[in-house]
Structure formats: structure tokens, C-alpha cells
Amino acid sequence: MPQQLSSLPLVQAFLLFIATWLLYKLIGPLVIRSPLHNIPGPPAQSFVKGNLDKVFDRHGWAFQREISEKYGAVVRLTGLFGTPRLFVYDPTALHSVVVKEQDIYEETPMFLIGNGLVFGKGLLTTLGHQHRKQRKLLNPIFSINHMRHMLPIFNKVAENLKEGIAIKVHSGVREQDMLEWMSRTALELIGQGGLGHSFDPLVKEVDNTYGHALKALMPALFSLAILRRLLPYVVNIGSPAFRRRVLELIPNKRIQRVRELVDIMDQTTRQIWENKKAAFAKGDEAVLQQVGEGKDIVSKLLQANEDVGEEDKLPDEELLAQLATLTSAAVDTTSSALARILHLLAENQDVQEKLRREIVDAHKDGNELSYDELVELPYLEAVCRETLRLYSPASWVTRKTRQDTIMPLSKPLRGVDGTLIHEIPVPKGTEVVVGIRAANRNPDLWGPDSDEWKPERWLSPLPDTVTNAHVPGVYSNLMTFLGGSRACIGFKFSQMEMKVVLVTLLQSFKFTLSDKPIVWNLSGIAYPTIGPVDPVARLPLNVEVISS
């Protein structure tokens, strides 16, 4: 009882701050009219939440499609308390947002602070000079040349995956949760290839607390999408110890679940980091004895940081943050993309068989494929590209303007007042949602079949409408891996992971649909469930061994 009384002033102070902030946010939109009100968009569902309930609904695919089709390539959405936001997939506007004026359209405070609390001061949470400094150190490690050296590590992990699945299905067709298998595999790939650490042998079941925490983190964070918008206003109240105490007192199961997951990940990452540093301090022989034999990203990062001048060195805190950042980014996106491909191949048996024939033919000499042979398999490339086009793991990212600016358009849109708008004045502090999924499905670029999964479209030259649009994505005229200085640094790493896993699995197994209905859910990273209300992410598919 005394402990409960002593905690009351902390909670009261927190609630008073929130009440004051809410009052300010209530009055602002009523007295200040934004120039964005002339941009067409859907009506707000409520004054408090605007459209956010629909934007962050796990079944919000239809809403995204509706606003794209009805309102065009730039749409006004409504945020908290009537605040206007922009949803954008116009290619010229996107070039301005992610390349030309990327220093104006920065990550939102919610994104930076939230990821900083989860991962530390890594690539996701730094801006300007510090972000460029981190990226400069990391870029050579993700080069194609280094990917070639990592291929044997990936092949070994994929073979372990094949053996693990074979143990489960050796006696006939068996239903397997392929999302679970892909999550375990993606973690082991980034574990060995990225951290020089093995999380999971794959050939047997292990209690992988870190893997489970990583898999649960993104859906848990997405469930708090609206509450997380308060972070910029509360993160600097008091000392870290004070904020931690307040966090532990908040009677919300979802918040406490995120806290538990982050604690698990932080403890594991710190332990791996200390082991890597200790081996590095002992010299090359100790490094070579570790998983990855010194070829992993963290070993290369430690060496690169040792070799640069003092002005380019990163402190331990930032090096540690790269571990957590890269692991989370690599596991969620790669496992989601691989699971989606396997689901599509199970639905489209003709595509699965055609892809299998290409892979088997490439292995006629019985040897493992070289890096060049792997990346030059045309149908495998087509299947991967088309899946990443139509079903990008992340559907959007959000930016916030640091100053007033003008957003150019590739073609004019008609305003609410009937006038033609050729460019949009965007006030400072406006949130701009980059519509990754909408940009990749833009029918003005990709044609009337833009919503259809057709790997064959990549086997012939792309339409001029695509190539002439100059979509600012770093990969294949797509926004899947973004563009500019904040493009995904590990997209080549991810592509190689996907191809190695698919080549290994399709030689040995056939995948078909089970009798369970699969629904893909909208989140920070898309995930499948059985039916629309299942709280557990999973992808049950029937798997059988292919006889040689």
C-alpha cells in the first residue's frame, strides 16, 4: 500500500501533462486553416483520431486501395484532432520527398524516438551528419563483393533448414508453419552472416527467446501506433530512471508487453556484443574461431571502425545499436517476403513448377551456384521482383517537414474547390506518408494489371511509363527498399538470403495450400494469420518431399 501511494504523484504529473497537450492540440486545428485542406481526401471518422483507425487497422488494405483509386496520387488524410496529413505516391512528389529534399522531409519524431528507445542510436534513429557517418562506415560491408564472401554461410544455413524440414515431413505430406520456419531461418542468416552468432541450428527445436521476442515486436508496436504518437511529448520528462519507473506503472498490457520484448532483445544483443568485442581484442585467431569466421557484418564493422581516423570512428553505443537495428530489420522483412513467396507459389502451382525446373537445370553439374549464377537466374529474379513489387513487406513510411516547402507533381490534381493544383505548398510540421504499396501498384505506370501477380512481366522490357517515371527507389523502379540516403542499406543482403533459401527449398519440397484460410494483415511489416481475427502470426502450408 505505501508503495502504491508513493507512485501516485508520478502518475498525476504524467496525466496533467497529457491533458495540457490535448487541450493545445484541440484548439490549434480550429483556429488555423492549413493550405492542405484543398487537397481531396476521405472524411475523418472522428475529430480525435481522424482517419488513423482505418490507417492502422490490421485489415486496412481496402482503405489504402480506396483512397488511391478515388483521390489520386496525393491524398489528404486526417490525423489526431483534425491535423491534416498527406498520403503520397506521385513519382515526382516522391523524388522530392526521398531524394531532392530529403533533409526537409525527415523521419518523424515518433519514429526516431520510438526506434531509439527500442534499438538505440543506429541507422534508423540518427539524422544528418551522424547518419551519414554511420552509413559511410557500413556501406562497404554491404557491397556485392562482400556478399560473395558470405554466400557459403548462407548456403550452410539453408542446408540446415532443408534438413530440419525434411525431418518433419519425411513420412509424407505434413502441414508446416512456414512463417515460423522463415522467421527462424532469417534470424539464423542474420545471426551468422550479420552478428557472427548462431541462434538456432534449425535441425532441432530450441527455446529461442530472442527469436520469439523479435517476431512478436512489430505486431506489438503496431498495436500501439496511436499511443506512440505521444512519445515526443513525454520522452524527456525527468531522468531515464524516472521514465522507466513510470513505464512500469502504466496499467496497459500492450505497453508492458512491448517493454518485456525490448528488454529481452537488449539483454541478448549486449551479450553478443561483449563476446564479439572480447574476441576482437584477442586478435585474428579468436575471431576466426567464432561463427562466421570473421566474415560477418559485425566483425567487419569492428575492423572498419578500428581502421578509420578518429573523426570517423563510432562510439560503442552506436556500434551496439547497429546490431539491434540490422537484426530486427533483416528478420522481419526477409521472413515476411519469403513467407509471401511460398504462399503465392502454393497458390500458383504452375509458377512453382516453372521456377523449380529453372533451379534444377542450373544445378545439373551438382555444384552449388556461385553468386553470379544465383543472381542471374531470370525466373527466380522475376518471382522475387514481382512479389516485392505487389506485396512489399512495409506498406508505407512517414516523413515530417522541417520547414515550409513546395511539393511538385507529375500531373495536376483537382482541388476541393475545383481548381487545378500543379504543386502543393506543404507547411512545416506536416506528416507525409510515402505510399510504398500504392507507388508499386500505380496503374498509370504499371498498366491495368498492376494489381495482379505476374512474374512474367519482368522477363521482357518494362513499359516506358515505368522507366520514364523515374521512381526514386533504389531497387527495380520500385519503392520497396525506398531511395535516397535512407534507402535500405541491406537490400542486396536480403535479396541473396531470399534466393538462397528458395533455391534450396524448391529442389527438395513441394508446397501446397492447407485447408486453413490465410489472411495477410497490415502492420509495420505485413504478416499472415489463420482467418481475420487470429492473434498469432503463422502460415500453415502443406509440404512434401520431392523424390529425386
- Binding site: what residues are annotated? 488
Grid coordinates belonging to 331:
528478420
Provide the annotated binding site for heme.
488
How far, in Å, are 287, 306, 412 from residue 301 at the CA level? Answer: 13, 8, 47
* Residue whose C-alpha cell reads 529534399 in the numeric block: 101
How far, in Å, are 136, 393, 394, 489 from residue 336 at the CA level? Answer: 28, 6, 9, 18
Alpha helices in 348-377 (DSSP H): 349-362, 371-375
Interaxial angle between packed helices 144-169 and 178-190, expressed in degrees from 0 to 180 and rounded to the nearest 10: 140
Grid coordinates belonging to 159:
542446408
Would you call 431 helix, strand, or coil by DSSP? Answer: strand
How far, in Å, are 169, 268, 543, 547 from residue 173 at the CA level? Answer: 6, 37, 5, 12
The DSSP secondary structure of 208-255, one letter per residue, reads -HHHHHHHHHHHHHHTTTTGGGGHHHHTTSS-HHHHHHHHHH---HHH
For Cα atoms 538, 541, 543, give the angle at the middle one, nearest 5 degrees.
Answer: 135
Task: Single out the residue of 529, 526, 518 nearest to residue 480, CA to CA.
Answer: 526
Residues 128-156: b if buried by 16+ CB within 10 A, e if exposed: eeebebbbebbeebbeeebbeebbebbbe
How far, in Å, are 164, 242, 273, 419, 479 from residue 206 at the CA level? Answer: 12, 37, 22, 63, 36
